Structure 1
Amino acid sequence: MILVLSITLPIILIFYILHKTLTRAKTTLPPGPPPLPLIGNLHQLGMAADPHIYLHQLSKKYGPIIHMKLGSIPVLVIYSAKLAKQVLKSQDLAFCSRPKLLGQQKLSYNSSDLVFTPYNEDWREMKKITHIHLVSNQRIQSFCPIREEEITKILSTSGNQALNLSEVVMAASSRMVCRVAFGKRYEEGGPGMKRFYQILKGFDNLTTSFFVSDYFPALSFVDKMSGRMNSADAVCKVMDSFYQELIDEHRESRRIM
Structure 2
Amino acid sequence: MEEFKINLLVFLTFAILLWSISKWLLKPSGSKNRPPSPQALPVLGNLHQLSLLPHRDFLTLSKKHGPFMLLHFGRVPVLVASSADAASEIMKNHDISFADRPLYKAHRKILYNGRDVVFAPYGEYWRQARGNIVLKLLSNKRVQSFRPIREEETALLVRKIRESSGAVNLSHMFFKFTYDGVCRSAFGRTYSESEKGSKFLVLMTEMTEALGAISIGEFIPWLRWVDRITGFDKKVERIANGLDGVLESVIQERLENLQVESNFEEKSEVDFLDILLQIYSEGGDVSGNRDTIKAIILDVFGAGTDTSAVVLEWTMTELLRHPTAMQKLQDEVRGIIGQKRDLTEDDIDKMHYLKAVIKESLRLHPPFPLLLPRVATRDVKVKGYDVVAGTVVMVSVWAIGRDPELWDEPQKFMPERFLNSSIDFKGLDFELIPFGAGRRGCPGITYSMAIIEFLVANLVAKFDWTLPDGVQGKDLDMNEGPGITAHRVVPLHAVATVIA
**2:244 partner amino acid:** D
Task: Tell me the equivalent position of 1:4.
Answer: none
Task: Tell me the equivalent position of 1:3.
Answer: none
Q: Name the CA distance, whole Å, in 1 between partners of 2:18 and 2:196.
A: 57
Q: Name the CA distance, whole Å, in 1 between partners of 2:243 and 2:187.
A: 14
Which of 225, 228, 231 in structure 2 is aligned with 1:227?
231
Q: Is the 8 A contact 1:199 1:239 kept in 2?
A: yes
Shift of 1:135: 0.5
Task: Tell me the equivalent position of 1:33.
Answer: 38
**1:178 partner amino acid:** C
Q: Name the CA distance, whole Å, in 2 between partners of 1:116 and 1:53.
A: 24
Q: Name the CA distance, whole Å, in 2 between partners of 1:153 and 1:57.
A: 43
Q: Is the 8 A contact 1:102 1:213 kept in 2?
A: no
Task: Tell me the equivalent position of 2:141.
Answer: 138
Higher relative contact order (CA 8 A, sep 6+): 2
Q: Is the 8 A contact 2:81 2:87 kept in 1?
A: yes
Which of 42, 45, 51 in structure 1 is aligned with 2:47?
42
Query: What is the aligned length?
Result: 243
Which of 45, 51, 70 in structure 1 is aligned with 2:73?
70
Which of 250, 254, 257 in structure 2 is aligned with 1:246?
250
1:167/1:50 CA distance change after superposition, 3 Å: closer
**2:199 partner amino acid:** R
Q: Which runs of 5+ in 1 are unaligned?
A: 1-7
Shift of 1:85: 1.2
Shift of 1:36: 0.7
Q: Name the CA distance, whole Å, in 2 between partners of 1:37 and 1:212.
A: 14
- Does 166-175 or 51-60 show the bigger shift? 51-60
Q: Name the CA distance, whole Å, in 1 between partners of 2:139 and 2:254.
A: 23
Pairwise CA RMSD of aligned residues?
2.6
* 2:156 pairs with 1:153: yes
Shift of 1:9: 6.8
**2:104 partner amino acid:** L
When normalised by structure 2's length, the TM-score is 0.45
Task: Tell me the equivalent position of 2:21.
Answer: 13
User: 1:114-129 to 2 correspondence within 5 Å?
Assistant: 114-129=117-132
Q: Residue 80 of structure 2: SS of its match in structure 1?
A: strand
Q: Name the CA distance, whole Å, in 1 between partners of 2:113 and 2:141.
A: 31
Shift of 1:149: 1.0
Q: Name the CA distance, whole Å, in 2 between partners of 1:187 and 1:56.
A: 38
Q: Name the CA distance, whole Å, in 1 between partners of 2:135 and 2:129.
A: 10
1:18/1:156 CA distance change after superposition, 3 Å: closer
Q: Name the CA distance, whole Å, in 2 between partners of 1:114 and 1:50.
A: 26
Shift of 1:212: 2.4
Q: How big is each residue's C-alpha offset from its partner over 1:59-89, in whole Å with a ceiling of 9 and x where there is no partner?
A: 3433331111011211112233212211122
* 2:218 pairs with 1:210: no
Task: Tell me the equivalent position of 1:165.
Answer: 170
* 2:209 pairs with 1:201: no
* 2:129 pairs with 1:96: no
**1:101 partner amino acid:** Y
Q: Residue 71 of structure 2: SS of its match in structure 1?
A: strand
Q: Name the CA distance, whole Å, in 1 between partners of 2:18 and 2:100.
A: 38
Q: Which runs of 5+ in 2 are unaligned?
A: 1-15, 262-500
1:102/1:58 CA distance change after superposition, 3 Å: same
Q: Residue 26 of structure 1: SS of its match in structure 2?
A: coil
1:61/1:199 CA distance change after superposition, 3 Å: closer
When normalised by structure 1's length, the TM-score is 0.83
Identity of aligned residues (%): 33
- Does 53-62 or 95-104 show the bigger shift? 53-62
Shift of 1:225: 4.1
Task: Tell me the equivalent position of 1:86.
Answer: 89
Q: Residue 50 of structure 2: SS of its match in structure 1?
A: helix
- Does 28-37 or 196-205 show the bigger shift? 196-205
Q: Name the CA distance, whole Å, in 1 between partners of 2:178 and 2:19.
A: 58
Q: Name the CA distance, whole Å, in 1 between partners of 2:141 and 2:212.
A: 34
Q: Is the 8 A contact 2:39 2:46 kept in 1?
A: yes
Q: How big is each residue's C-alpha offset from its partner over 1:192-244, in whole Å with a ceiling of 9 and x where there is no partner?
A: 43222222123123213332221112332332344322221121111111011
Q: Is the 8 A contact 2:26 2:75 kept in 1?
A: no
Q: Return the structure number with greater helix share.
A: 1
1:72/1:164 CA distance change after superposition, 3 Å: same
Q: Is the 8 A contact 1:64 1:79 kept in 2?
A: yes
- Does 60-69 or 143-152 show the bigger shift? 60-69
* 2:166 pairs with 1:175: no
